[in-house]
Amino acid sequence: MTFSFLSHLDCSRTGERLDADVVQGTSPAGAPLLARYDLDRVRETVTPRDIAAREPNLWRYHEVLPVRSPGHVVTLGEGMTPLLPMPGYGRRAGVPRLLMKDEGLVPTGSFKARGAAVGVSRAAELGVRGIAMPTNGNAGAAWALYAARAGLKNLIAMPADAPVITMKECQASGAELYRVDGLIGDAGKLVAAAVAGRDGYQEVSTLKEPYRIEGKKTMGYEIAEQLGWRVPDVILYPTGGGVGIIGIFKAIRELQELGWLDGKLPRLVAVQAAGCAPIVEAFERGARESEPFPDARTVAFGITVPKALGDFLVLDAVYTTEGTAIAVTDDELLAAQRRLAELDGAFVCPEGAACFAAVDRLRESGRLGEADEVVVLNTGAGIKYPETVEVDAPLLAKDEAIPKPAV
C-alpha cells in the first residue's frame, strides 16, 4: 500500500521540477519549493469516507503528505483541532456565522507543531541528522521538541525578546539555543552561516525547506472535512511568513483537483499587526511582492516578519480568492482578545486575536456580510502569552471580607 503519493517538487516562481527524494532547500531561483502529488492515483486509492474512519490527527491525510513510510512519522498527536462557533463575539460583530479553528490545542500550544511534525518526519526520513532555524519563538519550540522526539540535533536562534516560554521549551528539549540581540532576520543570517560549516544539518527556516507548508496545509483539509467537504465564505489568517495561508490555499486547490470540493474559493484574508504589515502595505499598492517593513514591532510576536520569502505566494492567494489584507493595532487586538474570552470563553493568542479584531473592521467596512460564514484561525493558546493580560484584581488581607456584589 502506498502511504504517500508525493511525486516531485516545483519551484513556486519558475515551475522548475526538482527531485523530492533528496534533501532540498529553496529552488535554484531562490524561491520556496512546493510538493506535488500524483492526485489521480490518490483519487483512485482513497475517498473522503475512508478518511472519516481514520485517527483524528493530521496524518489522516497521509496520501497527500510527503512522508513515504509510516515508520518515519514523528507525532505527538497534532491536528484535527475543533472548529467551534463563537456566537457571542459573532453576534456582537454582526457576523453570526463566526467559527474559530482552535490551534491552541495542538502540542506545544501553537499550530507550528503541524509544520514541525511533517518537516521533522520528512527530514529524518531523508537522512538529515540536525536541523537549524531562526524563529520568533513558537516555531523553534515546536521544531526543537519534535526534533528531540525524532532523535535529531537542533540549533535554534531567536530574538532575545521572544516569548520566554518558547525559550524554555527549547531549553527543556535539550536544544542548542541562542538568543540574538536583533530581529528574526538577524538570527537567520547567523544560522545560515553556522549551518554552512556543519555536516548533516539542514536549515529549516520558514519556506527554506519544502515540507513545513505540507504540515500547515492540513488546516485547509480539516476545515473542508469538518464542514462536510465544502469551504466557508471567508478564512482569516494571522500572517507572518505566510506559511499557513499559502498552505490552506494549496490544500483547497488539491481538494478541487481531487474532486472532493467544488470550484468555490473562500476569500482568504491576510491579517497583520499595524506594527509589522508588509503584506497589507503591498496589497494596498496592488503590488505582487512586499517591501521590508521598517522598525517592526507588535505584541503579536508570531507575525513579526518584516519581509517574507513567500510574500508573493501570500499575495497571490489573496488576489486569486478575491480576499483582502488588513492590519489592526495592538490596542485593537488586545481588546478583541479580552472580548472573545468574556463573550465566548476562548482565551486566544494575540495573533489569533488580531483576526477577531479584523472581523469587526471588515464588517464595519462592508467587506464582510451578515450572511457570510467566517472561519478565524486561532494559531495558538492564549496561555502561552501571559503578559498580554494585566492582573488588577484586589489584594485581600487574610481577615478582610470579600466585597458584596454591587446591586
Ligand X SMILES: *Cc1c(COP(=O)(O)O)cnc(C)c1O
Among 349, 355, 357, 359, binds ligand X (CB under 6 A): 349
When asked if residue 336 is in the footprint of ligand X (CB under 6 A), the reply is no
Q: Report in angstroms how near the CB of residue 243 gets to ligand X at its nearest.
A: 3
Q: Report in angstroms how near the CB of residue 20 gets to ligand X at its nearest.
A: 22
Q: Report in angstroms how near the CB of residue 143 gets to ligand X at its nearest.
A: 12
Number of H helices, E strands in the chain: 13, 13
Phi and psi based region of residue 345 (left: phi greater than 0; alpha: psi -120 to 50; beta: remaining): left
Q: Report in angstroms how near the CB of residue 158 gets to ligand X at its nearest.
A: 12
When asked if residue 140 is in the footprint of ligand X (CB under 6 A), the reply is no
Taking the least distance from each CB to ligand X, the nearer of 39 and 141 is 141
Among 79, 119, 215, 242, binds ligand X (CB under 6 A): 242
- Closest-by-Cβ residue to ligand X is 302
When asked if residue 353 is in the footprint of ligand X (CB under 6 A), the reply is no
Taking the least distance from each CB to ligand X, the nearer of 24 and 110 is 110
201-203 and 130-134: which strand pairing? parallel
When asked if residue 130 is in the footprint of ligand X (CB under 6 A), the reply is no
Contact range with ligand X by CB under 6 A, out of 174-182, 240-248, 251-259, 389-397: 240-248
Taking the least distance from each CB to ligand X, the nearer of 112 and 149 is 112
| Residues 208, 214, 216, 217, Cα dihedral to 10° | 130
Query: Considering CB under 6 A, how many residues would be counted as binding ligand X?
Result: 18
Among 140, 241, 306, 323, binds ligand X (CB under 6 A): 241
When asked if residue 351 is in the footprint of ligand X (CB under 6 A), the reply is yes
Beta bridge partners of 312: none
Residues numbered 194 to 233 that lie near ligand X (CB under 6 A) are 206
When asked if residue 100 is in the footprint of ligand X (CB under 6 A), the reply is no
Among candidate residues 99, 108, 243, 238, the one with its CA nearest the CA of residue 173: 108
Q: In which order are the strands placed within the sheet that holds 153-159?
A: 176-180, 153-159, 130-134, 201-203
d(CA 206, CA 135): 8
When asked if residue 380 is in the footprint of ligand X (CB under 6 A), the reply is yes
Among candidate residues 275, 245, 247, the one with its CA nearest the CA of residue 350: 275
Q: Report in angstroms how near the CB of residue 215 gets to ligand X at its nearest.
A: 10
Among 112, 114, 208, 217, binds ligand X (CB under 6 A): 112
> What is the residue-wise DSSP string for 367-381?
SS-TT--EEEEE-BB
324-328 and 201-203: which strand pairing? unpaired
Among 138, 205, 272, 388, binds ligand X (CB under 6 A): 138
When asked if residue 244 is in the footprint of ligand X (CB under 6 A), the reply is yes
Q: For residue 397, which amino acid is it?
A: A
Taking the least distance from each CB to ligand X, the nearer of 46 and 165 is 165
Taking the least distance from each CB to ligand X, the nearer of 68 and 216 is 216
Taking the least distance from each CB to ligand X, the nearer of 39 and 326 is 326
Helix (H, G, I), strand (E, B) or coil at 77: coil
> What is the residue-wise DSSP string for 50-64?
HHHTS-SSGGGGGGG
d(CA 183, CA 265): 35
Q: Report in angstroms how near the CB of residue 402 gets to ligand X at its nearest.
A: 36
Contact range with ligand X by CB under 6 A, out of 57-65, 118-126, 222-230, 238-246: 238-246
When asked if residue 110 is in the footprint of ligand X (CB under 6 A), the reply is yes
3-state helix, strand, coil in the chain (%, to 5): 40, 15, 40
When asked if residue 379 is in the footprint of ligand X (CB under 6 A), the reply is yes
d(CA 375, CA 368): 12
d(CA 290, CA 314): 10
Chain residues in the site for ligand X (CB under 6 A): 110, 112, 138-139, 206, 238-244, 302-303, 349, 351, 379-380
